[in-house]
Structure formats: structure tokens, C-alpha cells
Amino acid sequence: MADLITVSEDSFIKSVGMYRVKGQECVSTVIEAALEAGYRSIDTATGYRNEDLVAKSLSLFLPRNGLNREDIFITSKLAPKDQGQEKSVKAVYLSLQKLSTVYLDLYLIHWPGTQGLSPEDSRNLEFRRQSWKALEELYEEKKLRSIGVSNYTIKHLTEMLTYAKTMPHVLQVEYHPHYIQEDLRSFCKEHGIHLQAYSSLGTTVCNSPLLSDPVVLEISEKYNKTPAQILLKWAIQQEIGVLPKSQNPDHIKENMMLDFIMEDKDMKSLSSLGIRTKYAWDPSQVA
């Protein structure tokens, strides 16, 4: 995490997610509530189509909270349509323009595949290799303060050992008590990659089974916390970053109130539910 220098590690580990947040009013509501609640890290992407809306909201609410650009950590991501050397460079500069900033704190390759290619097409590897080379150059130029990948498997990361001058600072993947990827987490530890979890609450599907899991409910009652707070704390207590997403200001505030410690036995209970269910996208078939 030494390269993630713009804000503190504690601020980075709790990011507000902008996935599916659409329209200026909704984006402004989320940004305003997040900054007031103490979030200092914002996670967006080209594919979310709200980078410009995030920028407008920040221009309004940063001053109201006595903050500057340097006080926050902004993440964006390369869309699958922009894989490749030239396209990825253009995409980064477009994100910089839309976000009204001269640098990004973190930029990720969003998906190991390329739009328009079948998952098994071997050209996926070459395009993501080219994209990574471009990100490395932009990192050296300090346009990107940190670089990383999202939805990469151990196979994809192992391939990077053969061509990357700089290994990813961050890996963003689905990770929660119903989908624990311990081998992937161990790989990240071995290679100094910070693990960041998306879909921590399983809300990429309707009526999240995670939020209604009997063990989660039992532990939430014990600590007088919401199921969401328990799931987020389970990750953070293992030094796994989280990206809670909500358009409800009260929930945004609640998701930041994680100043409690769960006992080891409760952590172990959550880590041994015996369920392995993926609620988001599966990158394992991408060549």
C-alpha cells in the first residue's frame, strides 16, 4: 500500500461505490452524504457513465466540507471496450477530463477480457498486456498514482508475472462470506497486492441471501449492528478494502460506522458458512 499515498490507508479501505448511481441528483446525494459521513475514497468507472457527474458533485461538496482534491482518493477503471495500448491511453485521459483532475489516485483494468471477443479468444491476453503496459507508463508519468486490476483470477495474475514491470497495487474482486477466495487472497499477500472487495453485501442480486443469512443475522443481533455493518467489518477486520454502495444517506452513514471489533469466534463463523455462491460476474472463463 506504500504507493497509495494520496490519503491514508484507513480512508482508502472504506470507499463509497458509484456503481449503478445514475443521474446528477442521485450522484450528488451520494457524494454529499459520503463526504459528510467521513468517506474520503470514491470508486467509479468508465462503464458506470457517471464520472462527469461525480466531478460536478465534488466541485460543489468538497469546499462545503473544507476539503480539497488532495484530500480524497479517486478510483476509475478501464472499460473492456478500451483494452489495448492506444485505446487505454485515450480512455485514461478521457477519465481525467471527465473527472476534472490532472491525476487519478488509482486506475484499474475493469475486466480481463476485451469487448467484442469471445471469452476463450487468446487475443484477450495480448490486449490486457498492452493495456497494462500503457498503465505502467502513465503511472511512471504520475498521471496515475496507483494502478491495478479488477476481476482477475490467479491465472490472470500469474501471467502478469511474465510481463509486468510493476505488479498491481490493488486487486478488486467479489469477496464475501458466501464467496471466499482464500487462494487468491494468499497470492495477493505474497505479491504485495492490496485486496479490495466488491459486492460485500451480495446486492448485485435482488434480495441478497447474504443480508438474510441466519449466521449474519445472529451476529448482527449480538453486536447490535446491521447485517451490512457486520459483513463490511468482517472484510475490514481482515484488512480487505470494501466498496459499500447505497443511495440512502442513512445507510451510507451506517456503512461508515464500523468502530467495533468482532470476536475471533464470530469471524470464524462467518468464514466457515460452507456456502460458495457467486453473485456477480465470473471471469474464470476469460482466456
Q: 19 an active-site residue?
A: no
Angle at 151 between CA 266 and CA 239, to 5 degrees: 35
Whole-angstrom CA distances from 194 to 1, 167, 186, 237 are 7, 11, 11, 14
Measured in degrees and rounded to the nearest 5, phi and psi for residue 61 equal -95, -20
**H/E segment holding residue 41:** strand 41-43
Question: Exactly one of 19, 39, 48, 152 is catalytic; which is it?
Answer: 48
The conformational region for residue 151 under phi > 0 = left, psi -120 to 50 = alpha, else beta, is left
Strands (E), 113-223: 147-150, 170-174, 194-198
Calpha distance 96→144 (Å, rounded): 10
DSSP for 136-159, please give it. Answer: HHHHHTTSBS-EEEES--HHHHHH
123: number of Cβ within 10 Å: 15
Calpha distance 120→128 (Å, rounded): 14
Calpha distance 261→59 (Å, rounded): 35
Q: Catalytic residue positions?
A: 48
